[in-house]
Structure formats: C-alpha cells, structure tokens
C-alpha cells in the first residue's frame, strides 16, 4: 500500500487461512494498480527486511480488505523513474503527483514556505494580501487582462507584482510587510518561466540597502541550512559594472572561472573588419577544448551565433598541447597576436594553457558582454561545471536607466519606482530626458544570485512626488499620463510617505535550486506548458457567445479557429526582477 508517507507491505496469508482468510486472499489477487483500498490488520516484524524503505522492518497481516475505488490501468507507471513524455505527465498531472519525485518537490516547497513564514513572523513582519484585480499600466511585460461585466469596455489587469500596493502599505504605516503571492506575466515561456508564478514579496520602512541585504541574506542562509543542510558563508557584494566586465552577465555563476578577457587593444589594426569595427573584443578561455575536432568547434560556433546567445560571429584560437596555435582567422593574425591574447588571459583566474580554446566575440560593448555572458553559462553547463555546490552573491548598483534605440528614449532597468543613489539625484533631476549622461545614474538596487540564477531582487524606492514625477518624465510619460496611471501613488506621497525599500524572491526558482532540478514546473502543482496551456483541464478555452455579450466584448477569431497564440503587447509595469 502506498500513501503520501511511503509504502507498506501488506500480507494476505493463504496457508492455514480459514474461509474468511481465503476469501480475502482471493480478493487481494484481483487488486489492480492504483486501486484505493482500506485494510485493517496486525503490524508485525518483517522477516526479510527492506533497508531501502522507511517501513521495511514491518508488514501488515490483513484482517480485512475493502476496495474503496477501483482504477483503470494508468497511462504510465507510477514509479520514481518513468519513460512517460512530459506532455502525457502534464495531461495526467494528478497521477504524476503520486510519483515520489513530484511528491517530494511539493513537500519541499511546503517546507520552504513554512520556514519563510515562521522566520519573517519572528521578525515582526506582517503578512498582508493585496488585490489580484488591478489596473493595467504601461512599461514592462504584457499584462493578462480581465474584462469587467459591470463596467462595459473596461478591464482589470492581473498583477505582475504587488509593487505599488506594498509601497502604499508603507505609507499606511505597516512598516514590515510580506506576502507569498501569485504574480502574472504574459511573456514567452522557457524552462524557468510560467505565466503565473509565486513571489516571496517583502517591504520595510526606514531602512537602508545594507539593512535589507542583511535581513534577507540571513533568511536565505537559514532556508538552505534547514532544508538541505548547506551552510553559506557571508555573501560577497559585486558591483553591476564588475559583473558585466568579468562575466558578461548580471547574474554570474561564480562556481567556475572562465572569466571574460578584454583583448581589444591587441586585436585591432590587422585589417580584420570584425575586430576593427568593434567597440570591444572579448575572449573567453574554455578549458580543454583545444583538443576538440573542427566539427565540434563548428557546432560551438552555431551555438554562439544562435538565438540563445545572439553573437554576430565567433572567432576561435586553439592553443595546442605542443605549444602551437591555430585560429579561424589565421590569415589576419600571427603568433605574436596569439601570445598577446594568451598573456591577457593568463592575468585572470584559470588562465589559458596548452590544450585550451580561446573563443572571441566582438561588437558593441554591452551587446558583446551579454552574448559572452550567455555563452559562458552555456559552456559551463556543457562542461559540467554548473552541476555541483552552491555559490551566492549580491549584485549591487545597477544602472537606473537603459537607452532604447528603437523608441529613442530611456526605459527603467528595474522598474519606475526604483530610487537613484542620493549622490546621483541631482544629475537625475537636472538633465534633459534624452541626455545620455543619464546612463551614469545608479539605481539603489540589488539582486541576489545563486549559481548563476537571479533568485531575488529589489531596491530602495522613491518616496516623494517630485523625484517620482521626474522619473516618469525621463521615461517618456506626459504629466497627464503619469497622473492617469500613477496619480494614486504620487498622491499618497503627499501625506508623509516614509523612506522604504524591499525585494521579492522567486519562490519557484528557489525551490528548483534547493531541489537540484532545472525546471520550475517540477515545483508547481499544476503548471502550464510552453504555450501557456494547461493540458489537464484544457485551458485557455473558448467562452460562449452569451458570456461574450455579457462582457461587452467580441473576438475576431472564429470559434473553431481559436488558438493559444500570445496576444499583442499591452502594458504592465515590471515585477520585481525575481519574477
């Protein structure tokens, strides 16, 4: 017999049994897989003990058997290891949950939320629910929208995060707030994305960045120790600019070396257009790959220039074990340049030694850093460097703004409510909204990164109307638009808003790291597939013409042609980056 707590062996003796015992024996022979049964009997010591099972020292000798519910043969075996396709398991998710890996994942999630609640309650945080039906606002990912029957032609939006509400709670004097809350974003889905996900959302009043980092670093240390027995040392702090220069990504996996090396100075002036036209030329030393065949390196080039990484081109240099060099651009460069590249690489941890492969990407600085950062993570995974251990750090002092070439305006790096550092406020408020010096304004923002995954992020918030109005202006809002969208927040700032800040953790991602998996789907009881569909209940689905009429809406898609394709972009301020 199996239940949530394990498996127990039940015996129906035949030898020496009376008439009732023989009947029970006959009934037991006809039991099928997944039958729901009620058994009473005597617990006895088992002669052939099973050391692999918690209940392996005992068995139950049955006195009675009742079949409470028979079962059809399930579409896949309910066993720890299954060859069932994910599509089948998601369609029959209620059966998949019976398997130990899924059951244990949900129990781990339950343990995590219990520890978080207990810990924050002990620190006098107050758990407060915020609305699920809110208003659609511009910026960020697409909103999911909900039509209002009582207000024809108007729509609610589902929250991408409770950002403005938790700020309003700070204005209301609830100085320590948290919530384990559902958030919603209509975006392209990957293994670590779902249209609905869960945040551990937190906010505090009268705090500095240092206060917040200390409080929540302690919480995560406690979580890892109690759930999996891992003890973290103090989390190092890394500037955003350092993370980009060394790793090309604002969520670096620091469990392995392979840092980026700037070889711009010794790569230009050799009539190689890719390098000569580039703002920056970056190399990365891949350990042991110098022995790879040309075919395998070609496959590497495809990955570097593929959609996941996005490099325009990749150049490689083999450093052979005999000390010789080979290069995909050898007609432009000589051994002198190769040695200069190696010398630059050897100034970094790990260096570049015979048997290694130096991969090189060039182009605009930020785009090239980002491509190399993605490629580094990809190679780290492929080389088995990201499968063991835990490394955590804080990345701090992000740029407050990012320039959008297409829109010809600045956008918020985190969200529009993030405060600049005090010493950067004057620059923020005195410059024109298209002045490129605004790139230098630093946000009082921070991300927690574990094993190259951003598990939490937040910032100190703006808490006065004038600065918030200036940020909206820089982001391209007119005064009327800012008032229409966020007048309620700026109005609240007129009534004595305290300085405040916070962060949000991605609960699903935290559980994935703690459980040693790669997909957040394993830690969500009923997840969606990569098209945002729940194949178990067949959702989303059409609604009736009567329902459409009640909601005062019409669809341009004929019922039989309805598809799950993503809608056109709408607004939505971003969730905390932990989402």
Antiparallel, parallel or unpaired: β 10-11 and 58-69: parallel
Q: Rank 235-239, 297-301, 377-381 by mean pLDDT and report only the highest.
A: 235-239
Q: Is the predicted pLDDT of residue 569 greater than 80, yes or no?
A: no
Confidence band of 139 (pLDDT split at 50, 70, 90): low
Q: What average pLDDT does the segment 310-322 reach?
A: 93
Q: What is the token pair recorded at 33?
A: 């897989």
Q: What is the token pair recorded at 370?
A: 């980002």
pLDDT (tens digit per residue) in 105-120: 999 999 999 999 999 9
Share of the chain above pLDDT 90, in %: 83
Q: Which residues of 430-441 are buried (b: 16+ CB within 10 A; e: fewer)?
A: ebebeeeebeeb
pLDDT (tens digit per residue) in 55-85: 999 999 999 999 999 999 999 999 999 889 9
Q: What average pLDDT does the segment 308-320 reach?
A: 93
Q: Is the predicted pLDDT of residue 565 greater than 50, yes or no?
A: no
Q: What average pLDDT does the segment 528-542 reach?
A: 94
Confidence band of 559 (pLDDT split at 50, 70, 90): low
Find the distance separating the first CA and the last CA of the chain, reported in whole Å: 40
The vertex-470 CA angle with 568 and 463, nearest 5°, equals 95
Beta bridge pairs of residue 457 = 447, 504
Give how far Cα 399 sits from Cα of 178, 249, 444, 446, Å.
27, 14, 9, 11
pLDDT of residue 574: 42
pTM, two decimal places? 0.90
Strands (E) in 320-391, as ranges, are 325-327, 357-363
Confidence band of 518 (pLDDT split at 50, 70, 90): confident
pLDDT of residue 560: 57
Half-sphere exposure in the Cβ direction for 26 (13 Å, CA): 6
Where does 255-293 have alpha helices with state H?
273-276
Q: Is the dihedral of CA 415, 421, 426, 427 positive or negative?
A: negative
User: Can you tell me whether residue 113 is helix, strand or coil?
Assistant: helix
Contacts of 261 (CB under 8 A, 6+ apart): 282, 283, 284, 285, 341, 344, 345, 347, 348
Strands (E) in 443-540, as ranges, are 445-450, 453-460, 500-506
Share of the chain above pLDDT 70, in %: 96
Contacts of 380 (CB under 8 A, 6+ apart): 253, 255, 256, 258, 386, 452
Examine residue 540 and say whether the peptide bond preceding it is cis (omega within 30 degrees of 0): yes
Q: Is the predicted pLDDT of residue 37 greater than 90, yes or no?
A: yes
pLDDT (tens digit per residue) in 471-508: 999 998 999 999 999 999 999 999 999 999 999 999 99
Q: What average pLDDT does the segment 516-538 reach?
A: 93
Confidence band of 514 (pLDDT split at 50, 70, 90): very high
**CB contact at 8 A, 14 and 26:** no
Comparing C-alpha atoms, which of 316, 134, 116, 313 is closest to residue 222? 116
Average pLDDT taken over every residue of the chain: 92
Q: Is the predicted pLDDT of residue 572 greater than 90, yes or no?
A: no
User: d(Cα 550, Cα 243) in Å, to the nearest integer?
Assistant: 53
More confident residue, 151 or 408: 151
Comparing C-alpha atoms, which of 505, 481, 488, 501 is closest to residue 571? 481
pLDDT of residue 280: 97
Q: Is the predicted pLDDT of residue 579 greater than 70, yes or no?
A: no
Q: Cβ of 426: how many Cβ atoms within 10 Å?
A: 10
Beta bridge pairs of residue 199 = 181, 506
Q: Is the predicted pLDDT of residue 561 greater than 60, yes or no?
A: no
Confidence band of 558 (pLDDT split at 50, 70, 90): confident
Question: What domains can you pick out in the chain, each with its CATH number?
Answer: 2-73 (2.40.50.140), 107-243+453-462+498-579 (3.30.930.10), 256-387 (3.30.1360.30)
Contacts of 120 (CB under 8 A, 6+ apart): 127, 176, 178, 202, 219
**CB contact at 8 A, 505 and 448:** yes
Comparing C-alpha atoms, which of 386, 389, 387 is closest to residue 376? 386
Confidence band of 563 (pLDDT split at 50, 70, 90): very low
The vertex-439 CA angle with 437 and 440, nearest 5°, equals 75
Q: Quick one: angle between helices 209-228 and 507-515, nearest 10?
A: 40
**CB contact at 8 A, 178 and 125:** yes
Q: What average pLDDT does the segment 340-366 reach?
A: 94
What region, left, alpha or beta, does residue 90 occupy, with left being phi > 0 and alpha being psi -120 to 50 degrees?
Answer: alpha
pLDDT (tens digit per residue) in 190-230: 767 899 999 999 999 999 999 999 999 999 999 999 999 99
User: d(Cα 391, Cα 222) in Å, to the nearest integer?
Assistant: 15
Q: What H or E segment, with its residue span, contains residue 390? A: none
Confidence band of 414 (pLDDT split at 50, 70, 90): confident
């Amino acid at each position: 017999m199996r239940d949530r707590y394990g498996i127990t062996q039940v015996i129906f003796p035949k030898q020496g049994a009376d008439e009732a015992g023989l009947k029970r024996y006959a009934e037991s022979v006809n039991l099928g897989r997944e039958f729901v049964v009620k058994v009473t009997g005597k617990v006895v010591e088992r002669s052939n003990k099973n050391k692999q099972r918690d209940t392996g020292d005992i068995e139950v000798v049955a006195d009675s058997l009742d079949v409470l519910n028979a079962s059809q043969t399930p579409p896949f075996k309910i066993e720890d290891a299954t060859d069932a396709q994910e599509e089948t398991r998601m369609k029959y998710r209620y059966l998949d949950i019976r398997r130990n890996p899924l059951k244990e994942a949900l129990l781990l999630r339950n343990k995590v939320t219990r520890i978080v609640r207990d810990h924050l309650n002990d620190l006098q945080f107050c758990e407060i629910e915020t609305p699920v039906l809110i208003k659609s606002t511009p910026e960020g990912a697409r909103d999911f929208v909900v039509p209002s029957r009582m207000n024809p032609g108007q729509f609610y939006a589902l929250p991408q995060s409770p950002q403005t509400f938790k700020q309003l709670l700070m204005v209301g004097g609830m100085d320590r707030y948290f919530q384990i809350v559902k958030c919603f974003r209509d975006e392209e889905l990957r293994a670590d994305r779902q249209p609905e996900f869960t945040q551990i959302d937190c906010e505090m009043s009268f705090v500095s960045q240092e206060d917040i980092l200390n409080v929540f670093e302690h919480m995560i240390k406690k979580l890892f120790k109690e759930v999996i027995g891992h003890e973290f040392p103090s989390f190092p702090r890394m500037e955003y600019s350092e993370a980009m220069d060394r790793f090309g990504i604002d969520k670096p996996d620091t469990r392995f070396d392979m840092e980026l090396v700037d070889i711009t100075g010794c790569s230009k002036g050799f009539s190689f257009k890719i390098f000569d036209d580039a703002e920056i030329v970056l190399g990365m030393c891949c350990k042991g790959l110098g022995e790879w065949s040309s075919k395998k390196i070609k496959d590497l080039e495809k990955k570097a220039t593929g959609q996941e990484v996005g490099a325009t081109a990749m150049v490689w240099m083999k450093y052979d074990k005999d000390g010789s060099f080979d290069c995909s651009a050898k007609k432009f460069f000589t051994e002198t340049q190769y040695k200069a590249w190696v010398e630059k690489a050897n100034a970094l941890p790990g260096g570049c030694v015979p048997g290694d492969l130096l991969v090189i990407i060039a182009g605009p600085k930020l785009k090239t850093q980002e491509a190399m950062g993605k490629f580094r993570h990809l190679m780290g995974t492929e080389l088995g460097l990201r499968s063991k251990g835990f490394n955590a750090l804080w990345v701090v002092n992000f740029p407050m703004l990012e320039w959008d070439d297409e829109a010809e305006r600045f956008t918020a790096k985190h969200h529009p409510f993030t405060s600049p550092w005090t010493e950067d406020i004057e620059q923020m408020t005195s410059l024109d909204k298209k002045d490129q010096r605004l790139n230098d304004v630093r946000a009082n923002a921070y991300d927690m990164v574990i094993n190259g995954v951003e598990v939490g992020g937040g910032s100190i918030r703006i808490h006065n109307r004038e600065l918030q109005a200036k940020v909206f202006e820089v982001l391209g809002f007119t005064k009327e638009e800012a008032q229409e969208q966020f007048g309620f927040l700026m109005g609240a700032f007129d009534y004595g808003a305290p300085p405040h800040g916070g962060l949000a953790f991605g609960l699903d991602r935290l559980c994935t790291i703690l459980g040693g998996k790669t997909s957040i789907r394993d830690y969500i009881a009923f997840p969606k597939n990569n098209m945002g569909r729940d194949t178990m209940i067949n959702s989303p689905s059409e609604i009736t013409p009567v329902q459409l009429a009640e909601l005062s809406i019409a669809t341009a898609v004929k019922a039989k042609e309805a598809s799950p394709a993503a809608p056109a972009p709408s607004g939505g301020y971003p969730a905390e980056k932990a989402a």
